[in-house]
Amino acid sequence: PVDAVLALAPNMWARQFEPSRLAWARKRGLMEAFMLVARARGHFPARRLGMGTDDEAIDYVRSLVETARAGRCEGPQGDYFATMNRVGVPVLALVGGADHLLCHVEAARRFLRAIPRVELRVVPGVDHMGLVLDAASRPAWRDAAAWLSARLGAAPERSS
């Protein structure tokens, strides 16, 4: 059982979550390029391209592209987007204030709106990967640890 969720840059690239037509066109173009590269290589070479720490399996890339194309995210229980209102635990979502494409604040807000108990916090001055890699995110991580501890009944661990 899950008692609480901490979500980092939560969103899916589906048209209904992106308010900007221009941003949506950019996202769709990026998704198709993502798929072309993954198909040519058999995976997406994120490390080699300097776009992440781990390569992405082609099946994962395919599922993201299909979601962007269809505006639906199918799983064993049906459409994931249609069932988000069933999330019964509190959710804390962190979004980088300088993330202007991958998960900008308004797209995250639209993605999360169906969840009954969600709190969205913007971490100023950090981009998408900055949420986990930038030292400027440390205060947000301390706040998130306190938030989780309060909901899980545990004392937060002390660390730098």
DSSP per-residue letters across 48-114: HHTS-SS-EEHHHHHHHHHHHHHS--EETTEETGGGGGG--S-EEEEEETT--SSS-HHHHHHHHTT
pLDDT digits (tens, 9 = 90+) for 68-126: 999 989 877 788 899 999 999 999 999 999 999 889 999 999 999 999 999 999 999 99
The predicted-structure confidence for 43-52, as pLDDT tens digits, reads as follows: 999 999 888 7
SS3 122: strand
Say what the pTM is.
Answer: 0.86
Q: Residue 152 and residue 4: Cα distance in Å, rounded?
A: 7
Pairing of strands 78-79, 5-8: unpaired
Element housing 133 (H / E): helix 130-133
Nearest to 26 by CA among 142, 105, 104, 136: 104
Rounded CA gap, 41 and 35, in Å?
10
Q: How confident is the model at residue 159 (pLDDT cuts 50, 70, 90)?
A: low
d(CA 59, CA 55): 12
d(CA 123, CA 96): 5
On whether the CB atoms of residues 130 and 43 are closer than 8 A, the answer is: no
